A and B are shown apart, each in its own frame.
Chain A
């Protein structure tokens, strides 16, 4: 029997409480025999939730961590005060080789800091990037994912040209492995498609990427191209990426609110909505972010998957699968090879 891939779950971070992460890991233990879950957090809380949940006890272990980082805490201060914080302990277990990857639905800042304190940056990478997936009109890769990858969305607020090139390489490697996209297209986010558009760091990054043979660079894209899915991987700095992502989420929520309003307001509108309901549901199904589990913090020699804070059990299980897939395909090595 081959050695299983062990994924450490930071149990204490989810908006829905520790039990939801435990249920996600339990679901994973039933669906993926080659993945083992190491639940890191308050042992009593984990045990109580696990005992009530259908799971395979042979594929789950618990590692007690006495502290947790709250969403309202400053990550740096919290990690300094709480060396036993679950996210830090989980990362430590990966660094020591007891686990192969971390999944956390907790504070993004704490996750990035835990990585920085515990893991090593891949040679050639100066700064880490947080990636995220966003639903698009065009399908991507062999799996026909209706998502494209955007990075960075918050780990590195000010990125240099060199950082943007590294992000492009990392995003390309991730899309190749996770979306089974053999030759993903990579674009820089700018205020125009021309090579000379954008701030100096973007113009310089464009020049460098254009001459980089291992990345299929397709030039610049504009904000409007993100939901269209013009490129498989969109690269930007953390400040721009975070603003874009939050705006896109806001637009999506507003559309849903408007639809709800329309449904309640007039009988004719309600009838129209009812007629469209199967189409809307289909759209919802294909763009369901929960199926994609989480997004990676890229640039470190170990795998860290950041799940959405609102992730339910299914999304947590999928995040575990994404983590295991990244480990199985040696994402770190793929990035390293493309950078040299």
Chain B
């Protein structure tokens, strides 16, 4: 970055918002034992989801974006999380953590598990600090209510949500009065814009992808970050070499190979995402003079695997149609996963 830009950085063109647990980090806290173990983990013991650090680094490589992290982890974990991100080579602009001690001391037990009352005001307030024309890409997971909250946030900023609907949602999510006031206050100060381009939901719990069709094509459920990279490349936010670097990190992590990557590409195409051009560009990049796919050798096998997966599909379905999200119908998704009214998907 030039010296002038470091002193007075240009306003961000893109905002990448990430959740941490189960989105960036491989975290297990379904039982009390897992919760305690997670809380006591040191930075170097925490494991990131393969490809997530590489994807964040590549998205930030243009120098015109901002990385904002909003996590449900308690504030007491800040130093450990900051150290983990530093170990992964991630520089963030915002790291918002949950004040669970305060919630506990004040007897606000609903706020301990609730996501809407915590994340929605944090997102809206953060939006108020960025230029109106800055685009956004959001990353969450299927463990709690990320698809619901991110979609609601996107539609609120775009002026597509009626206040009465919002209030019904906040009631259903049992949001406390002060959180409700923060949400309404932050929302009303925002200029209307339609900044959210994509919402990626990492399928940590392997929720069936069809579950998310109710949120429209903006929400893309993903099994891994190679899939997110492919979609972002199609959206013009990443280049082929950058996608290959993400894939390289995933292969080096030891949990992915040619088969899982080519299956991942085919999975997206079967869901109607138009990625033929992306696949061709990737193949070209691999065969180029710089041999960018060093980590993915041998190149002919990769090309053959990807080509086979594409050729075996026949005719691709049309891309999914954009439809308005019916938040009242989806109101159960706003409640904590442990709530009795929440239907288990799949």
Chain A residues engaging chain B, CB cutoff 8 angstroms:
1, 3-4, 6, 30, 36, 43-44, 47, 50-64, 66, 98
Q: Is B223 an interface residue (CB 8 A)?
A: yes
Residues on A with C-beta less than 8 A from B309 are 61
Closest B residue to A46 using CB positions: B270
- Given A54-B206, A58-B224, are A63 and B263 neighbors across the interface (CB < 8 Å)? no
Residues on A with C-beta less than 8 A from B206 are 30, 54-56
Residues on B with C-beta less than 8 A from A4 are 257, 259
Most buried by B among A3, A56, A61, A62: A61
Q: Shortest distance in angstroms between B271's beta carbon and chain A's nearest beta carbon?
A: 7
- Interface of chain A, main secondary structure: mixed
Interface flags for B237-267 (1: CB within 8 Å of A; 0: not) read 0000000000000010011110110111011
Sample of 27 A–B contacts (CB below 8 Å): A1-B256, A4-B257, A43-B313, A43-B314, A51-B208, A51-B209, A51-B210, A51-B213, A52-B210, A52-B346, A53-B208, A54-B206, A56-B206, A57-B203, A57-B223, A57-B264, A60-B267, A61-B262, A61-B266, A61-B309, A61-B312, A62-B266, A62-B312, A63-B312, A64-B313, A66-B314, A98-B308
How far apart sit A58 and B309, CA to CA, in the bound complex (Å)?
Answer: 12
- Which positions 195-239 of chain B face chain A at CB distance < 8 Å? 203, 206-210, 213, 223-224
Residues on B with C-beta less than 8 A from A55 are 206, 208
- Which positions 304-330 of chain B face chain A at CB distance < 8 Å? 308-309, 312-314, 317
Which of B213, B224, B257, B313 is within 8 Å of A1, CB to CB? Answer: B257
- Which positions 263-284 of chain B face chain A at CB distance < 8 Å? 263-264, 266-267, 270-271
Chain B residues engaging chain A, CB cutoff 8 angstroms:
203, 206-210, 213, 223-224, 251, 254-257, 259-260, 262-264, 266-267, 270-271, 308-309, 312-314, 317, 346
Closest A residue to B270 using CB positions: A47
A1–B255 CB distance below 8 A:
yes
B259–A54 CB distance below 8 A:
no
Which of B210, B264, B270 is within 8 Å of A58, CB to CB? Answer: B264
How far apart sit A268 and B206, CA to CA, in the bound complex (Å)?
Answer: 49
Most buried by A among B251, B270, B317: B270
Residues on B with C-beta less than 8 A from A64 are 312-314
A56–B270 CB distance below 8 A:
no
How far apart sit A50 and B209, CA to CA, in the bound complex (Å)?
Answer: 9
A56–B209 CB distance below 8 A:
no
B263–A60 CB distance below 8 A:
yes
Residues on B with C-beta less than 8 A from A50 are 270
Closest B residue to A98 using CB positions: B308
Q: Shortest distance in angstroms between A89's beta carbon and chain B's nearest beta carbon?
A: 9
How far apart sit A171 and B236, CA to CA, in the bound complex (Å)?
Answer: 58
A47–B317 CB distance below 8 A:
yes
